[in-house]
Each structure stands twice: as C-alpha cells, then as structure tokens.
Structure 1
C-alpha cells in the first residue's frame, strides 16, 4: 500500500483554479475508483481554498502514472485541457506528512485554523458512504486528527479562534457598529455555517437568522437557537440584516443583484424611527465565504453594499508566529514517523493472522483427539493433549536451533528468540546455552 496526495490549493494554483476543480468534486471518489482500477481507496477533500485527493494504491503503481490518470479524469470533468490541471503530488511518507500538516491547519489560508480537521473527518465519512474508503486511508485520517489535536494543544496556533470565518467577520466588523447589536443573516447550512455561528456567538452576536434553499434551515436553526428564514421571507430578511454571510459554495450564486437591490433600496425607505436608526445609515455588509461565489460580483457595485469575498479575506489574513509554526512542524514530523512505524508493523498483519490460524488448527486437531465422556474430559487426557500440542509447536524451533548451531549461527538464533519471545524469556534461554553451544 502507498498513500498518495494530489492537491490544488490557494497558494500554489490560486483560488480560481481551485474553484474550477472544486466544482467537479461531487461523486468524484467513485468516478475515480471506476476510472483508475488500481486504486484501493479515495477521499475527496474540498474546502474554501483547496481540492485534495487522498489516494490508496498498491506499491507497484507508479506515482507519475497515477497522477496523470487522475489529472486526465479531472480535466474531463472540468472541461479543461489536461495541461491546464496542475496538481501538486506527494507520495508515501511525504504524502502522510502533507496530510498531517493540512489537518493541523499549517497549509490553510489562516495558518492554524481548526475547521480543516473537521472537514477532513467529514470527507472520510462521505468516502465511507460512497464505498471508496480503505482501511489504510482510515488510519491515515484518524492519525491526522490526532496530530491536529496535538498541535492545537501544544502550540498557540489555534488560539483566538483563528479561521477563515473569524478573519472574514473581523473584516466585516470594520464596516459595522459594535457586533453585539448587529443583525446577521447566514445563507447556507454547509460545513462553514456551524463555524460561522460559533464565531458570531464568541463576539456576543445574538440576532442571527439562517436561510437555506435546501429546506435544512429549520433543523439547523432549532439545534442552535437561531431563527429560520423561509423562501418568501428572504427579501425581508435581507432588508433587515446588517451583515449577510454566505457559505454554500454550490456553484451558482444565491444572492443576485436582482434579489439584493430591492432590499438595499428598502433599507433607505424604513419608516419606523428605531429601524431607521438601526439600518438607515449603515451599509449592507455581505461576506461571501464560498469558493465558488454565492454572491454575484455585481452585488458589490450596488450603492450601500460592501461586498467582502474570499480573495479579500485572503489578503487580510494575519501572519502566524514563526516559533509556533516551527513547533507545529516538529509535531507533524514526529507523528509522521510514528505513523510510518505503525504502518510497517501493520504489514505483518497477514503473517500474524496466518500464525494464529496455524496454531488454532493445531489446537483443534488436539481437541478432536480428546475422549469426551458425559461432557467431561479426563484430566490425564487433557494433560497429554497439551504436552502433545507443545511438542508439535516446538518441533520446528528445536530442529532449527540445532541446525543453526551446526551452521555456526547459534547467536543469530538466540537473537531471533529475543525478537520472538521477548527479552525476559530469551534471557533465560541464553543462560541455558553455553558460549560454545551458541556459537
């Protein structure tokens, strides 16, 4: 087994390229499994700043050939030329290290953000539902989650709610009065919606409504103490809101100029004095956190609207402290080495299973030889069966011990016993062998 990681992200390929490829993510795992028969497993991780493919393939599969097949498949789905799909590739230990660094937020737009770890776990659940999840990919993602928690616990990177959502809200706050008095409308109930509610609550925002075209708004709102907005209520909710945050990213804008313009005009015609004071002199701030825009670009040109999109958030991201990043990188290196050792151990699983099966067969054969009278076995018969079993199990090791000594490899045999039986038992056996006998 070899783990491969192919990725397009905000730093290397840019947000536009990620958006084009991200639009192909639906059902991508099963399609890749069908197009590339050598694959044993696929996890597709799509976020606001990356599309990453975690692949499990046999060791005999060449990394370059696998990358080419996957790239060709993505190009066809995105209706692009193959040479226009530029994926960064890692293989083996490098892929594991990159996965762990990604889960720890070290490759995120906001270094140290925690949302990515949850997104990775959700991607694994989707892979399980689509039957593209392999055992080794499961182990890799679980260990990546462990690495993420360790980085969060042992460094300060995750402090102060570092995330794309947090940076976006702080950017929006520059154009708003104190946030505790702001009315917020969240559009979408996807992966970022929950993080958005959490970030708003941390800033003491209490007036939060949620709208979703998928009819999930009611369930999302009830579970979080929010107000759900129906389709017919959306224009009024836009008119009343001070801050609109969109986080759907389903490929087509949900907030169009045609929808938003009347709401903005209505904000200037509020007759109620309190409402006029609350909304009349404020811009409508729209924060679009979706990779594939939820808000038409033309909305930003409307008078009284301040549109903040993902590239704007990217430019506003504060730099992480180098010392904390270095500490996180060391943790990733340690956990990568630990995972690789674990994988090496797992490669012996078939041997262990075969060994257990062999011993179980011997036991069953001895049990079959026993005479059972009235549901009982004579103690003497049981003892003889156990002695016979021990003799059978020790026959080959005994013959091998003598053969090793005759070949001058007695010490090699004793060293092997140390590995097989453990230090204490092997030490007793070493004492039983004179230097000449172990030669």
Structure 2
C-alpha cells in the first residue's frame, strides 16, 4: 500500500518548509531501516513542498498508523520541528489518492505557478536519489515512472506549460515593473545548479546581456564558461556592480545579508533588486531594511502568482485523472494475481491427476490429455478475464471471496513472481 505525507505552500508556512528542505531529505534511509512496515521511501523536497512517499507492507490500518507515526518521529528528529506541529502541518494520503496527488504534482498542477517547468525534473531526481540510497521499492518505481509519463503527456497535449511559467519568470515579471531596459541592466546570479541555468535562460529571454555569476562553492568559472557568462570570485564586488541580484543556491545558510549590502548602500544612490529563489533562504530577511534595496523572496513572489488558465488546467487534470485511474486499475489487478495463480494451480493440479489416470487406462496416443488440457484452458479463461474486469471495477474482493468459497482455496498474501505466473499460464 502507498502512503504520502505532504507539506506544501498551501498547508505549511515557509519557515516549516525551509526546515524540512534542510533536514528531511536524509530521512528516507531511516524511514526504511527503522520500520517493520515501510518497504520503500522516496522523499521529494523543493522550494514549495516536502513530501515523503512510502510503500508499506499490507493494507492494514495498524500498519498505516504505525508508518505515519514513525515517519513523523523521524522527520521531526531530522529537522528539529516539533512532532505536534508536524502532525498538524502534514496531510496524509493513502491508496489511490497517492497516485492522483503525485501525478498532479509532477505535472505542475499543484505548484505556486500552475504548469511550472522545473517540478517534473525535481520529481525525477527524487527517485534517482532514492535509488542511490537503496530506499526505493517496486511499487514506488511504478508510481514515479507513471508520474514521469503523465507529466510528459500533460506537457505535450495541453497548453498549461506553453508560457514557460516558473517562479523565476514570475519574479522577473515583478521586477520588470522597476526596470526600464533589461539590456542595460547588470545581473548577478548566485548559484550554479540546474535552477541557476534555468534562471540564466529566463533572464536572457528578458533581454539581459550583462550577466555575472558567483558560486559559494567555487564553481562559478566552469558554469560561466559553459553558458557564456562572467565569473566572479568576490561576492562584495559582484554585489556592488549589480542592479539585479538573483540567488538560487542549495546553501543551508543565507549567502547575502544586510551586512553585505549596507556599506554599498551608504556609498551609492543605486537602487538594487534582490530576488531570492532559494529554500532554505539564500538572502537574509534583514536585506529588506537596507536603503535602496528591494527584496522579492519566495513568499512575496507566491502572493502574486497568476490565476490558473481554466481550459488548459481542466485538460491537464483530465489527463491526470485518467492516468491515476489506469494506475489504480493496474495495481488492483496485481493484487488479484495471488488469487488467479492459486485458482490456476488448483485446477492444473486436478488436471494432472486426471491425465495420470487416463495414462493408466491406456491413453497412449495422448488424445485424452490434449482434450483435457484444452478444456482446462477454456474453463480458466473466463475467470481470468473476470478477475481483470472486477479489479478495474473496484470489486476485486468479490473475486477473492468466490475463489475461497467455491474451491476452498486459501489465497496467499504474497504476490508470486512474474516468472511463476508465466509458467502457470504456459
């Protein structure tokens, strides 16, 4: 069974999201190793959300409750957030609702900017990190791969991402009301990751030509060479020369503070816009108090998020709903596999007994054996088809009950390997 613990810009403060983004990503291994019920965990942490996707053994209510409580305890220990505050913040999803939610998230439908481009890549990297940490599971692999396929379908078949909307682009839109000519604006980008590369593209789309990059980790030169920028190793000098500063690093502590900018403000009448896209914050809030400096952080930017484009969003949600329905049906079919295999094993066991009897009675040419095998295949065809139909209709339990009631078969709890099923169907 799948579970999701989610905290995002709709149900959590930016302060809590900031703490979760720092400490919680390392919790996946602990969630798997310290629980008797959790068989897999993938943690997704972005600037606007934290989510822990779990696969637990069995659909038991007690397993779900224990897994949730253990997850809250582990995440609390990793982030320093009080367990009670964490319980009040996170929303717990289970079963089919998990797929519906992740498919919506990966398609950009749950983002601050509906249809943003970056989230699908962040979802993909969350799965890759879980693979590296060996915390993923077969159920989570299927879930995240289907999420990737769904986000591609939404991007290719709807207009929801057509405008290339993202947090950085919205931040630039807000800044543009203060900037007369981007081509004459000196821009400093602090950071050299994928988000920084996206930021460079967005700034250039605005017409900016004078772009400098600074890296707290010392990677500015290589990044600048790759994208045709100017690299700086002196943050103070780079800040002094910039009209617009955009920060987007993975630093756990603020990179730009009032102490950096105050001396610059007293020595110049230049106005400066600082756009902080980092979570944790890359810019200390005290920067807003520096004369001549305007700070646009994630909280401010999200307040100006545009309204959804109704038609495009409706089309995208229809695709997500369809994908979630298909995923649920496939999952239910797999849950019925033990019953189908048990029934086939039972019937084929009876078949072999009758074939042995026919051989003893003198069936030397194999005609009776062939007839019996054909009859068995015909008889099993309809139950196999009905199993899939009932699974897709959400009535899989009735098939399990029928198999037990009619044939006295105890259906095993474990799903047999795919190779076992193919052998029985041969």
| TM-score for both structures, normalised by structure 2 | 0.77
Report the counterpart of residue 116 of structure 2 in structure 1. Answer: 113
Structure 1 residue 140: deviation in Å? Answer: 1.4
CA distance in 2: counterparts of 1:200 and 1:18, whole angstroms: 27
CA distance in 2: counterparts of 1:48 and 1:413, whole angstroms: 53
Report the counterpart of residue 424 of structure 2 in structure 1. Answer: none
Report the counterpart of residue 431 of structure 1 in structure 2. Answer: none
Structure 1 residue 397: deviation in Å? Answer: 2.7
Report the counterpart of residue 247 of structure 2 in structure 1. Answer: 246
Given that residues 26 and 78 in structure 2 are in contact (C-alpha distance below 8 angstroms), is that contact kept between their aligned partners in structure 1? Answer: no
Report the counterpart of residue 52 of structure 2 in structure 1. Answer: 53
**2:268 counterpart of 1:302:** no
Report the counterpart of residue 373 of structure 2 in structure 1. Answer: 397
**2:332 counterpart of 1:332:** no
CA distance in 2: counterparts of 1:4 and 1:331, whole angstroms: 22
Distance 1:418 1:103, change over 3 A: closer
Paired residue for 2:93, among 74, 90, 95?
A: 90
Q: Which runs of 5+ in 2 are unaligned?
A: 343-364, 388-426
Structure 1 residue 347: deviation in Å? Answer: 5.2
CA distance in 2: counterparts of 1:23 and 1:414, whole angstroms: 54
Structure 1 residue 287: deviation in Å? Answer: 0.3
Given that residues 119 and 191 in structure 1 are in contact (C-alpha distance below 8 angstroms), is that contact kept between their aligned partners in structure 2? Answer: no
Paired residue for 1:342, among 330, 336, 352?
A: 330
- Residues 113-167 of structure 1 deviation map (CA, whole Å, 9 limit, x = unaligned): 1211011111111111111122322221121122112222222221222111110
Paired residue for 1:102, among 100, 105, 120?
A: 105
Match of 1:6, SS state, is strand
Report the counterpart of residue 129 of structure 1 in structure 2. Answer: 132
Question: RMSD value over aligned CA atoms?
Answer: 3.0
Structure 1 residue 224: deviation in Å? Answer: 1.8
Alignment of 1:313-324 (within 5 A): 313-324=301-312
CA distance in 2: counterparts of 1:168 and 1:45, whole angstroms: 23
What is the count of residue pairs matched by the alignment? 364
Q: Which runs of 5+ in 1 are unaligned?
A: 269-280, 355-386, 402-409, 421-439
Structure 1 residue 259: deviation in Å? Answer: 1.7
Report the counterpart of residue 14 of structure 1 in structure 2. Answer: 13
Distance 1:134 1:177, change over 3 A: same
Distance 1:98 1:26, change over 3 A: closer
**2:182 counterpart of 1:168:** no
CA distance in 2: counterparts of 1:416 and 1:132, whole angstroms: 37
Match of 1:244, SS state, is strand
Structure 1 residue 216: deviation in Å? Answer: 2.4
Structure 1 residue 323: deviation in Å? Answer: 2.4
- Residues 6-39 of structure 1 deviation map (CA, whole Å, 9 limit, x = unaligned): 1101111232221222221242211222222322
CA distance in 1: counterparts of 2:119 and 2:51, whole angstroms: 12
Distance 1:73 1:418, change over 3 A: closer
Distance 1:418 1:60, change over 3 A: closer
**2:112 counterpart of 1:145:** no
Structure 1 residue 251: deviation in Å? Answer: 2.7
CA distance in 2: counterparts of 1:290 and 1:207, whole angstroms: 22
Given that residues 236 and 263 in structure 1 are in contact (C-alpha distance below 8 angstroms), is that contact kept between their aligned partners in structure 2? Answer: no
Distance 1:211 1:414, change over 3 A: closer
Report the counterpart of residue 435 of structure 1 in structure 2. Answer: none
- Residues 392-420 of structure 1 deviation map (CA, whole Å, 9 limit, x = unaligned): 8x58635748xxxxxxxx8x556359889
Report the counterpart of residue 65 of structure 1 in structure 2. Answer: 66
Distance 1:245 1:136, change over 3 A: same
Structure 1 residue 61: deviation in Å? Answer: 4.6
Deviates more, 1:13-22 or 1:283-292: 13-22
Report the counterpart of residue 382 of structure 2 in structure 1. Answer: 415
Given that residues 183 and 207 in structure 2 are in contact (C-alpha distance below 8 angstroms), is that contact kept between their aligned partners in structure 1? Answer: yes
Deviates more, 1:296-305 or 1:189-198: 189-198
CA distance in 2: counterparts of 1:45 and 1:334, whole angstroms: 23
Structure 1 residue 194: deviation in Å? Answer: 2.1
| TM-score for both structures, normalised by structure 1 | 0.75
Report the counterpart of residue 271 of structure 1 in structure 2. Answer: none
Given that residues 257 and 283 in structure 2 are in contact (C-alpha distance below 8 angstroms), is that contact kept between their aligned partners in structure 1? Answer: yes
Structure 1 residue 90: deviation in Å? Answer: 0.9
Given that residues 161 and 199 in structure 1 are in contact (C-alpha distance below 8 angstroms), is that contact kept between their aligned partners in structure 2? Answer: no
- Residues 214-252 of structure 1 deviation map (CA, whole Å, 9 limit, x = unaligned): 22223322222222221xx22111111111111124331
CA distance in 2: counterparts of 1:283 and 1:349, whole angstroms: 67
Structure 1 residue 349: deviation in Å? Answer: 7.7
